[in-house]
Structure 1
């Protein structure tokens, strides 16, 4: 008897045709990838790490909107001496700024609106607005010579997170999920959380591509935890659905997806199978993760009064610690509200009050639990703010600072970073790098190095070339490494 005609290939698209032509190769590669992940629990590439890692995981406290370095960390007496006077043209040179001050001819120096003191044996200068951060100054490494090429928020954040100012590249967390996998099968390798200042006076937009996977398989994109309701959509089963029924439904769905995968070899189908499984496991793991009843009163008090308010920065910092100890590889906290163009006088203190204690508590909490040594914590924005005033000097209630990419400060702690040191410096105005400049790609190369990855060797072939997080740049910042 003549076998029935299989009509499925007749209806294939051109993409499916070429995809199915390479199905054997695709499935072999996929089987290798999935086999590696199954063998280790949460996988990654078999060739990684390239050398022994000092850090196992990263918590990135990204302060959207750009904190003012000259008001918080980089004390510049010259700004007070010349307060209200035009910043010298020789300092500004041909620097470009955002459209808000690009045409502003008067650029008077603006003194810091806080007071500074030296703290700890390291003598680090920290603002009076950050008293809890000041107490842990000897645990931190301040980089005061960061610089970037981007002058607007979204491109600058994208540049820090993906190595390119244009959307479409994989984010740092996605690269680490792809390269190193996770230490657990119960939670995602990459989690993103967002928060805003209490006053909601000025917040940046949180674009999904900040935690996207770009051209990497979508299984590596960040899972966003929401600030209200269930942390993840559809975490709870609908009425009438129990765990056994859910398990059976997923098994049947996986079988159907596997049939399609066997035909076309599309890695995105494998992603779909894995994500359904992850969602099922998260139904049990996430409620336990977010149950803070097991935390001591002293721990909760350390993070501050907002720690039990879902979606707050303090709550997210505590969840970050709980994710870290449960095996999540990259935890990305993004807190908006630092974009103080005309409200520096009032808003900077509010932002610091919201973020100071939780940031310091996270460091102390990780250290108390023996996690800081192999957890890299980063605090910083996408650029700094101008040493000169945006606005009029006589309008004292509406002082502000514009975006400033030419030099700014961030800090790092744990995970192979030298504690109690300051690297690099700015000029006497806090305008330009004076010594030991650190570019965004240098920063990224150093993070990968601490995780045991040679940034030049972690690549992915796409559209005819091999891409990497650091593009074709990046030097490791050796002086800050233990």
Structure 2
């Protein structure tokens, strides 16, 4: 046989095995590494993963899109309050001009938060009065107050936090996990995206949950509000489920013939997507129907819990998906881009109120179901905010100051809970004025490496070859932050 024939037949053999496995319905049961405590069967994923015993089985990422101010939430800086109205010391900028949109300002004025901070829990965590419910679960949280990013504008910073690259085209973190670890439920997507329904002009691009150069079926699936959580999933009027099944069976036969003539991984991906869509027609309506939730659950999550598309309703949805084996659940809550009027009731206080009780309720709900121990919950945005005012600010101002804060990439705050994270811990700190990292910096690459580690993956070995290069979620950097792990 010619070299071309050998490669063709070998490729068809591998593709045929994958196709037969997928068409079998149950998928291949992949045993985790011997050290792994994960004994349940899964569908898809890489057979050699996990590399070691995972501490987390799933991730819920509560993403505050727009860049929430750490000074109004979890990074208490009394020095800013004391010196409010004074010129920000140029020495903290280390000779450089501020990045973001305030570079043209002639004056940079320090401003503290007008909201009261108190210590909470046995850990004594400092938490703003805007987050009273979060304060009640302070000892479940690990605050990382030394996060840094390479990007200072929304689009590249969002893309960087989700994919490990500022440029579009790379797979998102959820897609990487879907590729590596597969799913525990073949009837639901392994990676689901939920976006709060808010009247803010801050669109989120599909590429934030795209599969990039990975096979397309690893992309996140956006569950929308309304009757149909997934667009075009329901049968058209007059088309029965049985006829759809017959159509898919015929399509499989056609694709199988094509595979014999010309092996193509893309064909497998398309068949897998068709089959997943068919299974989702039954599984998604059940998973997204909150009517079966008892009244005390809605009360736990707050007044917005029955509002379709609210962050509270999405948190309940996230817990339901986690129960059903979805591995990566991404919640986006847009509207945190407060360049002006930050402290006005319609701005930061409203955003905080919308997420405070649902976040705390989610942790409580997971704990009550004995799921928090292996569910990693993350809260944060693409960057933080400046410790000086964007725009003019005067010491003579009275009442609630009408200032804003600009984008700031050099130091901001995340919190993490569950899934192998030490509760009641504060890791790292910002400097006296909250401008730079004071100690223990955590980069975006470090963050991604740590999340992968908690899921049992060595980030340096977790690669995908594309265009002649082995790519990683963490690119060529990243260190696991083991100090925050239980």
Normalising by structure 2, report the TM-score: 0.92
Matched, 1:156 2:157: yes
Name which of 307, 314, 321 aligns with 1:309.
Answer: 307
Is 2:81–2:113's contact at 8 Å kept on the other side of the alignment? yes
SS at match of 1:336: coil
Shift of 1:343: 2.2
Equivalents in 2 of 1:429, 1:154: separation in Å?
Answer: 27
- Does residue 38 of structure 1 match 2:27? yes
Could you tell me which residue of structure 2 aligns to residue 407 of structure 1?
411
| 1:418 pairs with one of 402, 422, 431 | 422
What residue number does 1:74 align with?
Answer: 75
Extract unaligned runs of 5+ from structure 2: 30-41
Q: Which residue of 2 aligns with 1:299?
A: 297
Matching residue of 1:353? 353
Report the counterpart of residue 334 of structure 1 in structure 2: 332
CA offsets 1:256-293 (integer angstroms, 9 cap, x no match)? 22222332222121111111111111111111111212
Between stretches 158-167 and 96-105, larger displacement belongs to 96-105
Q: Please report how far the alpha carbon of residue 235 of structure 1 lies from its aligned counterpart in structure 2 after TM superposition.
A: 2.1
Runs of 4+ aligned residues of structure 1 deviating over 6 Å after TM superposition are 18-21
Task: Measure how far apart 1:203 and its partner are.
Answer: 4.0
- 1:295 positional shift: 1.1
Q: Is the 8 A contact 2:134 2:357 kept in 1?
A: yes
Superposition deviation, residue 481 in structure 1: 0.5
Where structure 1 has 5 or more consecutive residues not aligned to the other structure, the ranges are 1-17
8 Å CA contact 1:203, 1:338 repeated in 2: no
Q: Does 1:103 align with 2:80?
A: no
1:9-24 equivalent positions in 2, closer than 5 A: 22-24=7-9
Q: More displaced, 451-460 or 34-43?
A: 34-43
SS in 1 for 2:442: coil
Look up the match of 1:52: 53
Quote the Cα distance in structure 1 between the aligned partners of 2:6 and 2:356: 56
Match of 2:272 among 274, 290, 310: 274
Given candidates 241, 250, 262, the residue that maps to 1:264 is 262
1:73-472 alignment runs, 5 A limit: 73-197=74-198, 200=199, 202-346=200-344, 347-394=347-394, 398-472=402-476
Instruction: Spell out, residue by residue over 1:443-481, the C-alpha distance to the aligned partner (whole angstroms, 9 max, x if none).
Output: 100000000000001100011110000001011101101
The answer to whether the 8 Å contact 1:74/1:144 transfers is yes
Deviation at residue 93 of structure 1 after TM alignment:
2.1
State which drifts further: 251-260 or 454-463: 251-260
Give deviations 1:52-76, integer Å, cap 9, x for gaps: 1110110101110011001110000
Corresponding residue number in structure 2 for 1:3: none
Contact 1:196 1:337 in 2 (8 A): no
Seen in structure 2, the aligned counterparts of structure 1 residues 31 and 436 have a Cα distance that, compared at 3 Å, is: farther
Partners of 1:322 and 1:20 lie apart in 2 by 49
Provide closer, same or farther for how the CA distance between residues 22 and 304 of structure 1 changes in structure 2, counting only shifts above 3 A.
farther
Counterpart of 1:122 in 2: which secondary structure? Answer: coil
Q: Distance in 2 between matches of 1:196 and 1:145?
A: 30
SS state at 2:261 partner: helix
Query: The residue matched to 1:474 in structure 2 has which SS?
Result: coil
The worse-fitting range, judged by mean Cα deviation, of 40-49 and 82-91 is 40-49
Is this contact kept in 2: 1:143–1:424, CA < 8 A?
Answer: yes
What does residue 34 of structure 2 align with? none
> 1:334 and 1:180 mapped to 2: Cα distance?
23
CA distance in 1 between partners of 2:70 and 2:444 (Å):
17
